[in-house]
Amino acid sequence: MQMQTLALAFLAATTVGGLAWVFLYPYLSGEKKAESRRASVARTEPTAARSPDRTRSRREQVEGSLKELEARAKKDKKVPLGMRIAQAGLGWSEQKFWIISGVLCLVGSGGAFIAGGGLLGAAGIGFAMGLGLPRWMLSFLKKRREKAFLKALPDAVDVIVRGIKAGLPLFESIKVVASDSPEPLRSEFLQIIETQTIGMPLGEACARLYERMPLPEANFFGIVIAIQQKSGGNLSEALGNLSKVLRDRKKMAEKIQAMSMEAKASAGIIGSLPPVVMLLVFVTTPDYIGVLWTNPTGQLMLVACAVWMSMGVLVMKKMINFDF
């Protein structure tokens, strides 16, 4: 009994001593205070806290300019109709566009009704010609104009670089490009000159090129000019690097197009097989296939086939459309 009491006393004393060693000794010996002092010496304050009035570095200015341009480019994702018409290179007003759309709608619906398509068919044809055809035309003209712009832009940047190296100001070099370049590059650079003439800074005028020509290459050009106008630097070297980037992107786009031609050809053949077979069967045996549009069940099957074919075509287009 006495041995058990001594053992319990020893364990209790050991426990109390251990707890005191862990929790009280660092404070009594000054070790905690020394550790706190070492941490305060090793900790570094942020640069901005040490020098709050210091001028921003060039890197910070560049990052700020990039963020500002990206925010402005993403501000309005929905392009107004007037801007879409301008991007297509047409001088129409919105009123003229709607008048042409209305005329096409009337012509399409009237022709379908006279041909015996009925009210439903006439409404569908009129809707497609009145709303679908004009917008498809704007998209087609816009893409064709963008291709012509990309084809001439690297040469235009090279002209600006040579002009700057020869001692010409940037504005005069842009005037040379505007006078000698083909369309649509000429009209876009004339817009830059006119915008700068009325008082807008040249960097902002070049940055607005992306609004009329929504291409990454046009955005690159505007960013380079805007950053140089704000922070300075060797503009000829920056534009020379931009020209190299533009040419490399052009080579990459052509390489991607060449590599994807096999997939595009296969998708075109697969997508055109059902309509071609249907046309051949109609030419050879019209009574055999005529049940599809004379019988209600056949009409329902045609609608279902059109929906599934459209889904398949869209999926194949998504698969072979390579972006970089």
pLDDT tens string, the chain, 324 residues long: the values are: 545 555 555 555 566 565 555 555 555 555 555 556 555 544 444 444 444 444 455 556 555 655 565 565 555 557 788 888 888 888 888 899 899 999 988 888 888 778 766 677 778 888 888 888 888 899 899 999 988 998 888 888 998 888 888 888 888 888 888 888 888 888 888 888 888 888 888 888 888 888 888 888 888 888 888 887 777 777 888 888 888 888 888 888 888 888 888 888 888 888 888 889 988 998 888 888 888 878 888 888 888 888 888 888 888 888 877 665
Peptide bond into 214 cis (omega under 30): no
Which tokens sit at 201? 């800074």
Helix 216-231 and helix 133-165: axis angle, to 10°?
40
Domain that holds residue 252: 247-324
pTM above 0.85, yes or no: no
Tally of CB atoms within 10 A around 278? 14
Note whether residue 272 is domain-resident. Answer: yes
Measured distance CA(108)–CA(117) in Å, rounded: 11
Task: Report if residue 236 sits inside a domain.
Answer: no
Q: Is residue 27 part of a domain?
A: no
Name the nearest CA neighbour of 228 among 161, 179, 177, 166.
Answer: 161
Number of structural domains in the chain: 1
Stated as kind and residue range, the H or E segment containing 56 is none
Residue 282 CA to residue 290 CA, distance in Å, equals 7
**Measured between alpha carbons, how far is 63 from 112 in angstroms, rounded to an integer?**
58
Contact 177, 156 (CB under 8 A): yes
- Is the Cβ–Cβ distance between 223 and 137 less than 8 Å? no
Backbone φ/ψ region at 30: left (φ over 0), alpha (ψ -120 to 50), beta:
left
287 CB-near residues (< 8 Å, 6+ apart) = none
For residue 240, being part of any structural domain is answered with no
- Can you give the pLDDT at residue 52? 43
Residue 204, pLDDT score: 83
Q: Evaluate whether residue 285 is within a structural domain.
A: yes
Q: What is the largest CA-CA distance in the chain?
A: 120
Predicted local distance difference test score (pLDDT) of residue 4: 55
92: in domain: no
Residue 152 and residue 188 in contact, taking contact as beta carbons nearer than 8 Å = no
Residue 263 lies in a domain: yes
The answer to the question of residue 258 being in a domain is yes
**Residue indicated by tokens 């070492």:** 38
CA dist 272 and 284 (Å) reads 18
Give every CB contact of residue 238 below 8 A, 6+ residues apart in sequence: 224, 227, 228
Give the whole-angstrom CA distance, residue 45 versus residue 41: 10
Write down the pLDDT at residue 51.
43
Q: Please, what sign has the CA dihedral across residues 315, 318, 319, 320?
A: positive
How many residues belong to the chain? 324
